[in-house]
Amino acid sequence: MIQKITRKSLLYKSNVEYGNWTINHVSGCMHGCKFPCYAYMLSKRFGRTKDYNDWRKPKLVANALQILEKEIKRYGKELDLVHLCFMTDPFMYDSEKEALVPEVLDMTLKIIKRLNREGIRVTTLTKGVYPDNLLSRQLMPDNEYGITLVSLQEKFRKEFEPFSASYQKRIQYLKNLYDSGAKTWISIEPYPTPNLDPGSVNIVKLLERVSFVDKIIFGKMNYNIDVSKFKSNNNFYKTKAGEVINFCKKNNIQYHIKAGTPYSSKDTESIFQN
Ligand code: SF4
């Protein structure tokens, strides 16, 4: 049974260039990524998480819907697009049970439904999987569902995203959503250098696996000392970002290269503003 906490506020303006508002209705994340995870580092710095094991024991914000109700009234028309989530995973996967964490899933779906009822679009991003019946829940057709995919090598996943869903599963569930008519996207971030994942030299192979998506975000790996040990990392990221752009142009996929990565441009920051 997942632990519960309460909070005083829920919605806040995102500082990520392609998002507007965000909600993190869970503290911590079972996926325990080791890129390292920026959310974990921040939580630890501000004393919200004791250590890695504590981070991997998620705590659900039990009063999330009550706060949301008040904040929808407070922010009104300012609320146009909400991203779930930057500091946790909205479709959290329990790798031991090989299933979504039911309490997190339930709250995520209630939040999306409530926002959609107000005409507010939602984008989601996960390293878990999407539930089978997501589109039968009367959600807005303009929501956009994404997965993070930075490699196709399970060896890399086991080292850096040890408790997430397998790449194969993530892709399959996203493809199911696409086949049902949903809008889909991929976050290829943080992309590893070849000393961390030899397979990263062939980004086209990864892109071809997900060529059905509407949008792609690409970004380099930050906060990892091994990236700077890879001597020509700037050239590497230049080449890979160029390949992403070419692939997207050829396949009519919208893209954004994140700030700080070669070929990043402000012109594509509004990728999620329909
Ligand atoms: S899925 Fe996201 S929030 Fe969760 S541990 Fe991994 S990087 Fe951190």
- Our answer on whether the CB atom of 84 is closer than 6 Å to any ligand 1 atom is no
- Using the atom order of ligand 1, give the atom closest to the CA of residue 40: 8
pLDDT tens per residue, range 18-38: 778 999 999 999 999 999 999
User: Tell me, what's the pLDDT at 137?
Assistant: 87
pLDDT tens per residue, range 152-205: 999 999 999 999 999 999 999 999 999 999 999 999 999 999 999 999 999 999
Q: Domain containing 73 — which CATH number?
A: 3.20.20.70
- Mutation to probe ligand 1, out of 127, 157, 159, 160 (largest number of atoms < 8 A from CB): 127
In a domain, 216, yes or no: yes
**What does the pLDDT average to over 53-70?**
98
- Our answer on whether the CB atom of 64 is closer than 6 Å to any ligand 1 atom is no
What is the CA(31)–ligand 1 centre distance, in A? 6
| Residue among 18, 28, 66 nearest 49 (CA) | 28
What is the CA(89)–ligand 1 centre distance, in A? 6
User: Tell me, what's the pLDDT at 261?
Assistant: 97
- How crowded is the C-beta side of 189, counted as CA atoms within 13 Å? 24
Which region, left, alpha or beta, applies to residue 223 given φ > 0 means left and ψ of -120 to 50 means alpha? Answer: left
In a domain, 215, yes or no: yes
Q: Residue 158 is encoded by which pair of tokens?
A: 């086991």
What is the CA(161)–ligand 1 centre distance, in A? 8
Q: Residue 112 is encoded by which pair of tokens?
A: 């999306």
In a domain, 274, yes or no: no
Question: Is residue 61 scored above 90 in pLDDT?
Answer: yes
User: Tell me, what's the pLDDT at 14?
Assistant: 85
User: Tell me, what's the pLDDT at 16?
Assistant: 80
User: Tell me, what's the pLDDT at 46?
Assistant: 94
In a domain, 21, yes or no: yes
- Our answer on whether the CB atom of 31 is closer than 6 Å to any ligand 1 atom is yes
- Our answer on whether the CB atom of 258 is closer than 6 Å to any ligand 1 atom is no
Inter-residue contact 190 to 244 (CB < 8 Å): no
- Using the atom order of ligand 1, give the atom closest to the CA of residue 164: 1
In a domain, 123, yes or no: yes
- Give 147's strand partners: 126, 186
**What does the pLDDT average to over 49-73?**
97
In a domain, 37, yes or no: yes
Three-state secondary structure string covering 131-171? CCCHHHHCCCCCCEEEEECCCCCHHHHHHHCCCCCCHHHHH
- How crowded is the C-beta side of 31, counted as CA atoms within 13 Å? 29
Question: Is residue 251 scored above 80 in pLDDT?
Answer: yes
- Do β-strands 215-220 and 183-191 pair in parallel, antiparallel, or remain unpaired? parallel
233-244: b (≥16 Cβ within 10 Å) or e: beebbeebbeeb
**What does the pLDDT average to over 53-65?**
98
Q: Residue 174 is encoded by which pair of tokens?
A: 């996203």
**What does the pLDDT average to over 92-101?**
97
Question: Is residue 15 scored above 80 in pLDDT?
Answer: no
- Using the atom order of ligand 1, give the atom closest to the CA of residue 126: 1
- Mutation to probe ligand 1, out of 30, 31, 167 (largest number of atoms < 8 A from CB): 31
The DSSP code sequence of 112-127 is HHHHHHTT-EEEEEES
Give me the number of domains the chain comprises: 1
Calculate the alpha carbon distances from 176 to 6, 95, 160, 180, 188 in Å.
35, 20, 26, 6, 19
Element (H, E) at 255: strand 254-257
Please state the separation of Cα 48 from the chain's center in Å. 21
φ, ψ (nearest 5 deg) of residue 255: -145, 160
pLDDT tens per residue, range 129-138: 999 989 888 8
**What does the pLDDT average to over 223-246?**
94
- Our answer on whether the CB atom of 126 is closer than 6 Å to any ligand 1 atom is no
Determine the residue type at 202: N
- Our answer on whether the CB atom of 89 is closer than 6 Å to any ligand 1 atom is yes
Q: Residue 89 is encoded by which pair of tokens?
A: 């995973």
- Mutation to probe ligand 1, out of 16, 27, 29, 93 (largest number of atoms < 8 A from CB): 29
Model confidence at 17, in pLDDT bands (50, 70, 90)?
Answer: confident
Question: Is residue 142 scored above 80 in pLDDT?
Answer: yes
Inter-residue contact 92 to 56 (CB < 8 Å): no
Model confidence at 56, in pLDDT bands (50, 70, 90)?
Answer: very high
Q: Which domain holds residue 79?
A: 3-265
Over its C-alpha atoms, the chain yields an Rg (Å, rounded) of 18
User: Tell me, what's the pLDDT at 121?
Assistant: 95
Q: How far is it, in rounded angstroms, from Cα 88 to Cα 23?
A: 9
In a domain, 208, yes or no: yes
- Give 83's strand partners: 22, 123
- Our answer on whether the CB atom of 199 is closer than 6 Å to any ligand 1 atom is no
Q: Whose CA is nearest to atom 3 of ligand 1?
A: 88
Mean pLDDT of the chain: 96
Please state the separation of Cα 120 from the chain's center in Å. 19
In a domain, 169, yes or no: yes
